[in-house]
Homo-oligomer: A and B are copies of this chain.
């Protein structure tokens, strides 16, 4: 397991020291995280975030020098959250097949948000790529997190060299399902596709159980 980015656990502001994160800063990141997801990064203004947090606009400059820094903090948090979630499943001692099934299950767990706004990872990456925004690297890091984690689970299942291709495959399937669930928000489609993905997963598992 590789942490794709170093984590800024607090405010540094020139002192070179790591301090406990400010409560307001965390509120800003939380609000920005939500608005970047629901409205997109560019369409979200400082005023929007300030209104949601309930603070003054001008106050932002104290916590973040630029809008890009807020984006970095949001991506950082998203990576940390997903990282914890994924590692939690492994630490629980769940077998790799169940871990991957949990990943697929995210689509159902978050089905309402996904049907409204698509996948937080895919839509953010897509937007930043089009904007030629440096944050694209961080957004790709989110993909990397899932890709590497899935690869390791498939390796644990004994898939060997195929593991990375399988990881990308299931990642792509999830992205596609999220996109179409967003365009056609009827619940049946999502459940149907998740069931198919789980069946596919079990077929892969069986195939490698029989071989070894």
Check B179–A165 contact: CB distance below 8 A.
Answer: no
How many Å lie between the Cα of A166 and that of B6 in the bound state?
A: 43
Residues in B whose Cβ lies below 8 Å from that of A39: 130-132
| Complex interface: stretch among A67-75, A78-86, A91-99, A182-190 | A182-190
A123 within 8 A of B: yes
A40 near B180: Cβ-Cβ < 8 Å: no
**A173 adjacent to chain B (CB < 8 Å):** yes
Asked if A193 contacts B172 (CB within 8 A), the reply is: yes
Assembly CA distance A168 to B193 (angstroms) = 9
When all copies of this chain in the complex are counted, the total is 2
Chain B residues positioned under 8 Å from A130 (CB to CB): 38-40, 43, 117-118, 123
30 A-B pairs with CB atoms under 8 Å apart are A39-B130, A39-B131, A40-B42, A40-B127, A40-B131, A42-B43, A117-B129, A117-B130, A118-B130, A122-B126, A122-B179, A123-B126, A126-B126, A126-B179, A129-B182, A143-B183, A165-B189, A168-B184, A168-B193, A171-B176, A172-B176, A172-B177, A172-B179, A172-B180, A173-B173, A175-B175, A175-B176, A176-B176, A176-B179, A179-B179
A140-B183 in contact given A43-B130, A130-B40 (Cβ < 8 Å)? yes
A169 within 8 A of B: yes
Residues of B within 8 A of A118 (CB): 126, 129-130
Answer whether A180 and B168 are a contact pair too, CB < 8 Å, given A40-B131, A118-B126, A126-B118: yes
Which residue on B lies nearest to A36, using beta carbons?
B130
